[in-house]
Structure 1
Amino acid sequence: MATSWQGLWAYRSYLIVLFLPIFLLPLPILIPRKEAYCAYAIILMALLWCTEALPLAVTALFPLILFPMMDVMDATEVCLEYLKDSNILFMGGLMVATAVEHWNLHKRIALRVLLTIGVRPAMLILGFMLVTAFLSMWISNTATSAMMLPIAHAVLEQLHKAPPDPEVGSDNPTFELQEPSPEKEPTKTDNAQVRPVAPAPSEPRAQKSQEQLRFTQCLSLCVCYSASIGGIATLTGTTPNLVLQGQVNSIFPENPNMVNFATWFGFAFPTMIILLLLAWLWLQILFLGFNFRKNFGFGDQEQGHQRAAFQVIQREHKLLGPMSFAEKSVTTLFVILVVLWFTREPGFFEGWGNLAFANDNGESMVSDGTVAIFIGVMMFIVPSSFPGLTQDPENPGKLKAPPALLTWKTVNDKMPWNIIFLLGGGFALAKGSEESGLSAWLGDKLLPLQNVPQPAIAFILCLMMATFTECTSNVATTTLFLPILASMAQAICIHPLYVMLPCTLAASLAFMLPVATPSNAIVFSFGDLKVSDMARAGFLLNVIGVLVIMLAINSWSYPIFDLYNFPSWAYSNATAHCFQHPPTTSTPQP
């Protein structure tokens, strides 16, 4: 009997994929309407995403099969949803991030910041959190964590052992990040599946003092938490942000480009800073206690250890040498990218997109995706050294030009193509919900929420999203819920962004479980942590995160996104009452 159960369990993925569509068939059979057909596809995909019986990207392809067969949407219309502007922005941003990683610019930034901050306990934690959050604003959260953790553990090695003899120089092998030199061979690791090589601990856990163990846990958790927090600050920082942009543009095509790089940064960056500082204080109190004098390094007993740890960082920074031509070129192009993003259509003045590339209505013809792809293409044009002629080893006697800053092999190895399909599947679901009438049906059912105060609605939804994202992919979570939230907002006559923005940020608050994000899993794999340690630290941080998001959406987000009234671009036949009889619970003035 036990063997039979084991066999069924081994084949559980096949059984789920086979029987789940059959189990859900009564829905479209008993209710032969487009709304039910679309609901069938959404429920099926949601359950497959939650169980991961199929790869997430494969499940995201289901609308291409189900919608045309069920007469929800034409196949050509569905296909167009899989490569929208948000996907292009994601691809362009990843190209630039790949160049930053490939030429080790992120490592130079990290070491430079740590040298500036110092290695006193509280300041060391703050330094790691700041640099991790900054890097995760631009490159993959997973790759950021994989790079920062070996640095953190190398510093801990020095802090937790006797100071070395200054006369005897010794390299710290645990500090080596085992990254190939960009001149030799590009990194072969996929962004979505980065697996760090954990440093070999110099002493068993049992031999560590409780104080050392707590500091190790604190420094490890600060890396993965700040990677998740930093990702919310920019539109390209984490995939749910791009899901929101794509869903808003798909569901509300008349919106005046409300969610772009500049407006998102103005809303999310202050939120990230506040949450990062509160997380720093919480982790410090939880693991280091209330002795702030000791935490900030006032005392002589630890000076030797701190000096040794500082020397490790200093030595590794010197090993990088002066900035190469490639690093300077990547830095220049990166700065140009950010400036172009901010000034394209900032909202409070005429951007270059409106002035130079406007259509007949004065709207910008270029998008953030256009800018990202332009800089990404430049990475393939600019050489990696100047002058850079060398002997071609394959053709003796002939000169060879240096490779460009990026090669297609490098980009192809690092590009998470699965996320692009996942984004496209989400956009297809949103469009199918609108075309089938499912969105309008959901809006009717949610009308009773009109009597609930809007801040209470946003708070409850944020808590729900933060809880749900602990168990499922944050991309899948936002993909499933954002169309429903848009329908709810239209039904109860509130600005759609008032509920969609905070819920998108809440989807990044995955702090409690190792399986919640790849960053958490990487930290957990390094040892010295139990699930209870992460859950204890992450529970209150989730609550703090939701409260900070509520502060943001009820204050400075109002002028940025014009949340004062229900917008005309969100109008539909189901929302005519919003303009005839404005709701009594109007959006509060900040």
Structure 2
Amino acid sequence: MSEEQAVQPTYPRRAKIGLILGPSLFLLAYFLIPSSQLDHAPRFVLAITLLIATFWVTEAIPMAVTSLIPLVVIPLVGATDIDTIAASYSSPTIFMYGGGFVIAIALQKWNLHRRIALNIIDMIGTQSQRIVLGIIISTAFLSLFVSNAATALMMLPVALALISEVKEKEILTGKSLTHFSKSILLSVAYAATIGGLATLVAAVPNALFAEIARTQLDRTVAFYEWLLFAGPVALIMLVFLYFYLTKMKFKVDSTNQDQTIDFIKKDKKNLGKMSRDEIWVAIVFGITVFLWVFKTLVFPDHIADNMHDGAISVFGAISLFFIPSTKKGERLLEWRDLKELPWNVLILFGGGLALASSFGASGLNDWIGDTLQLLEAFTPFIIILLLVVIVLSITEILSNTAVANLVLPLCVGLGIAVGLDPLILMAAAALSAGSCYMLPVATPPNTAVFSAGVLDVADMAKAGVWLNIFSVIVITLAVYFWMPIVFGL
């Protein structure tokens, strides 16, 4: 293949379609909707949202760059003022997410994530089914506080090493080995996704939910509140995942399994005792999580109310730059370590919040509410169910961040239209946007494990469809019955 043939085009076919389709939808929406029905400001916000959504879906230009469009064009035409738009890119929730990313970088730098995972697996046991359980628990635990993509990348080498150990020692052979290998990899992908549902700092849709609730509904959603609500959802999903993979989909015949898997113990031994650096990272990590969860119990109300989860997250991140490490002349984190920080995700997050603030400030939410009043004919339960099914289906083929950015602001107007608390619909959309299991492109964890070359698309699709169906049931019931109790709605 020549060098010219190997070079990728500047604009692939999908991007070219987006470059044409996006502006076309913008023009159609702005000029075909009569001004008597929708004023200039909300009409422009609706039109630019269609353009941005098209660019996100087709990746006509990088998604983070697309996310900066609202900062330029919306204030320019007077749809919303610059202060409202610019504030979205520096919201407290973005700092919460960014601080969590920094702490995750420290966990990886000092190998603490691997020690946590190996200890959990070793504690649970090294029989094939117990290994799967250990992978699920350790992956889900890490993804409570680290992005699901980073968690999957952390755990993938552990999973591959386990598969290699079992294969080389012929602990399992034939169909049992194949089933074990696939269940291990799917456990990493799915547990990383499910664990991220439980906290505000692990998945963008959850954090977006909290920020839109704060800015659009004037309601503060604390870390512990979301954990109390979504934690049981994640736990039920993880239990189902374990039994589905080990007892139904990829059952392993371990009757002749008379050898132990010593890879875990060897790796633990190679890690040695916890270094001083690991201990300090663990202390900072522990204090940060403790404050996220228990700040209302530790501090008086007037202090706890002013202690945003974003400030706690940044406090943990800053602390890592103060503590000296065992490397001469260095601290636990140096600025150069932040080259691993996913700035694009933070900008993408800001773009979604900018659109959400524009929906409210321009009056577009009111128009959406009036337009969707036909849904009043349905019961709240059916509305929640339909929303979960639609969002979960869309997220299988589109970025969950992009879907959350588009759907969550719409939920405010939908709630107004049907007389249902928007917080309920937003929670349903956030959890659904974070639950996608069928395709390798659906989530970064799916993509990561698929790259190992062990799984077929059919394996992931067949296993994922049942998780999707179960997710629809669990999320709908949790949002309808459990959320009003936790949030006092």
TM-score between both structures, scaled by the size of structure 1: 0.77
Which position in structure 2 is the counterpart of 1:226? 191
Aligned with residue 465 of structure 1, among 391, 399, 413? 391
- Name the CA shift for 1:325/1:493 in 2 (closer, same or farther; >3 Å): same
Contact 2:384 2:480 in 1 (8 A): no
Which position in structure 2 is the counterpart of 1:247? 212
Looking at structure 2, the residues matched to 238 and 154 of structure 1 have their Cα atoms a distance apart, in angstroms, of: 27
Matches within 5 A, 1:349-498: 352=299, 354-355=301-302, 357=303, 364-385=305-326, 401-411=328-338, 413-498=339-424
Deviations, residues 230-286 of structure 1 (Å, cap 9, x unaligned): 111111011111111111112113x2x1x1101011111111111001011111234
Secondary structure class of the residue paired with 2:274: coil
Q: Give the letter for the 1:327 counterpart.
A: E
Matches within 5 A, 1:42-441: 42-162=49-169, 209-253=174-218, 255=219, 257=220, 259-289=221-251, 294=253, 297=254, 299=255, 301-304=256-259, 307=260, 309=261, 311-345=262-296, 352=299, 354-355=301-302, 357=303, 364-385=305-326, 401-411=328-338, 413-441=339-367
Contact 1:266 1:560 in 2 (8 A): yes
Contact 1:64 1:79 in 2 (8 A): yes
Looking at structure 2, the residues matched to 452 and 230 of structure 1 have their Cα atoms a distance apart, in angstroms, of: 32
The root-mean-square deviation of aligned C-alpha atoms, in Å, is 2.3
Is residue 23 of structure 2 the alignment partner of residue 16 of structure 1? Answer: no
Contact 1:353 1:366 in 2 (8 A): no
Aligned with residue 523 of structure 1, among 437, 449, 466? 449
Which position in structure 2 is the counterpart of 1:538? 464
| Aligned-residue offset at 1:373 | 1.0
| Aligned-residue offset at 1:211 | 2.8
Contact 1:344 1:354 in 2 (8 A): no
Q: Give the letter for the 2:102 counterpart.
A: M
Contact 1:82 1:425 in 2 (8 A): yes
| Aligned-residue offset at 1:159 | 1.9
- Name the CA shift for 1:510/1:163 in 2 (closer, same or farther; >3 Å): closer
Contact 2:26 2:48 in 1 (8 A): no
Contact 1:132 1:226 in 2 (8 A): yes
In structure 2, stretches of 5+ residues that fail to align are 1-7
Secondary structure class of the residue paired with 1:381: coil
Looking at structure 1, the residues matched to 313 and 68 of structure 2 have their Cα atoms a distance apart, in angstroms, of: 26
Looking at structure 1, the residues matched to 478 and 242 of structure 2 have their Cα atoms a distance apart, in angstroms, of: 19
Looking at structure 2, the residues matched to 273 and 212 of structure 1 have their Cα atoms a distance apart, in angstroms, of: 27
Deviations, residues 193-229 of structure 1 (Å, cap 9, x unaligned): xxxxxxxxxxxxxx97233222211111111011100
Q: Which has the larger radius of gyration?
A: 1
Deviations, residues 330-352 of structure 1 (Å, cap 9, x unaligned): 1111111111112223xxxx651
Contact 2:14 2:58 in 1 (8 A): no
| Aligned-residue offset at 1:161 | 3.6
Q: How many residues align?
A: 478
Identify, as 1 or 2, the structure richer in helix: 2
Deviations, residues 156-197 of structure 1 (Å, cap 9, x unaligned): 222234469xxxxxxxxxxxxxxxxxxxxxxxxxxxxxxxxx
Secondary structure class of the residue paired with 1:403: coil
TM-score between both structures, scaled by the size of structure 2: 0.93
Which position in structure 1 is the counterpart of 2:4? none
| Aligned-residue offset at 1:384 | 1.5
Contact 2:92 2:310 in 1 (8 A): yes
| Aligned-residue offset at 1:77 | 2.5
What is the identity percentage for the equivalent residue pairs of Structure 1 and Structure 2? 34
Which position in structure 1 is the counterpart of 2:5? none
Looking at structure 1, the residues matched to 482 and 469 of structure 2 have their Cα atoms a distance apart, in angstroms, of: 20
Looking at structure 1, the residues matched to 24 and 394 of structure 2 have their Cα atoms a distance apart, in angstroms, of: 26
Contact 2:17 2:58 in 1 (8 A): no
Q: Give the letter for the 2:422 counterpart.
A: P
- Name the CA shift for 1:81/1:8 in 2 (closer, same or farther; >3 Å): closer
| Aligned-residue offset at 1:18 | 5.1
Q: Give the letter for the 1:466 counterpart.
A: L
| Aligned-residue offset at 1:405 | 1.0
Q: Give the letter for the 1:320 counterpart.
A: L
| Aligned-residue offset at 1:139 | 1.5
- Name the CA shift for 1:521/1:12 in 2 (closer, same or farther; >3 Å): closer
